[in-house]
Amino acid sequence: MSNQNECHHFLRWALPCLGLRREGYKKVRRQVCRRIQNRIGELRLPGFAAYRDYLEDHPDEWNTLDTFTRITISRFYRDYQSWQVLGDALLPGLAQRAQEQQRALRCWSAGCASGEEAYSLALVWRHRVMEKVPMQKIEIIATDVDEHMLQRADDGCYPGGSIKDVPRPLFKKSFRKIEGGYCLDQGIRAMVSFLQQDIRYTMPEGPFDIIFCKNLVGMYFMREKAVELFRKITGRLTEGGILLTGNHEPFPIEDLPHMTPYDRGLNMYIKRA
């Protein structure tokens, strides 16, 4: 059996033990396998079967294995059409409501990786929405479990591949070139607050008008855990607030009767009274 086949067999056993959904890892399992193989080498074990035995003899190793399952793929303006809908309709409407209620518009990016999603929201707000509601304040909170990713987010510098979908006018206004990449304008970076949190155990205090939870809970967690987490997440939405999930991500709407599709094709859901 090849190393890849051994790893796939190992993941079929290990992922459910971590409460994780095997199907969600289909496209990224090579990345996960590479991390586990490196760990097996560090431990000087002969292979995946020996690592399974090691896990059973060393329960604390499960925490290490858990870190290898974190997927951090992200880029600016991912799912581009969603950002068009946000800028044209959702953000102005929600901002107007928040202004009438004399409060800040509150947004949360869950599983933010190195910050591209949260900063995309800041760009849309600054360059497409703010002039329509010039006195309105916005709060953007972004959370992730990975300290290294959050440090990258705080630095605000990215390779060219991460910013390829940023509209050219916004790119020219908000990025400066450095050796090996591009850095965001300090004004945009200051709009986002980053927190290190594991969504399984800790979430920021709501309520929020918009929550991004894309390619995270529905994609990687087994259904029972996903339903539990989505209930907590949507419990932090305002009435009329919007949840965005990944375009190809399962969403257990039948278990969340307070949520209804806003745009099923873009996996946007609205919280009703």
Task: Tell me the two tokens of residue 263.
Answer: 């745009």
Task: Tell me the two tokens of residue 20.
Answer: 């994780």
* pLDDT per residue as tens digits for the range 77-111: 999 999 999 999 999 999 999 999 999 999 999 99
Average pLDDT over residues 152-164: 95
Task: Report the alpha-carbon distance of residue 258 to residue 15 in Å, rounded.
Answer: 30
Query: How many Cβ atoms are within 10 Å of 109's Cβ, its own excluded?
Result: 28
Q: Which residues, including other chains, have CB under 8 Å from residue 92's CB and lie 6 or more apart?
A: 129, 132, 133
Task: Report the alpha-carbon distance of residue 54 to residue 56 in Å, rounded.
Answer: 5
- Residue 240 and residue 258 in contact, taking contact as beta carbons nearer than 8 Å: no
Q: Where are the domains of the chain?
A: 3-68, 80-271
CATH class assigned to 80-271 = alpha beta
Task: Report the alpha-carbon distance of residue 132 to residue 98 in Å, rounded.
Answer: 13
- Residue 69 and residue 18 in contact, taking contact as beta carbons nearer than 8 Å: yes
* pLDDT per residue as tens digits for the range 168-210: 999 999 999 999 899 999 999 999 999 999 999 999 999 999 9
The set of long-range contacts for 59-62, using a CB threshold of 8 Å and a minimum separation of 24, is 62/17, 62/18
Task: Report the alpha-carbon distance of residue 189 to residue 186 in Å, rounded.
Answer: 5
Task: Report the alpha-carbon distance of residue 77 to residue 95 in Å, rounded.
Answer: 20
* pLDDT per residue as tens digits for the range 25-38: 999 999 999 999 99
- Residue 233 and residue 241 in contact, taking contact as beta carbons nearer than 8 Å: no
Task: Report the alpha-carbon distance of residue 128 to residue 120 in Å, rounded.
Answer: 11
**pTM value?**
0.94
Integer CA distances (angstroms), 217 to 39, 84, 221, in order = 26, 24, 5
Cis peptide before 207 (omega within 30 of 0): yes
Separation of CA 78 from chain center:
11
* pLDDT per residue as tens digits for the range 213-268: 999 999 999 999 999 999 999 999 999 999 999 988 999 999 999 999 999 899 99
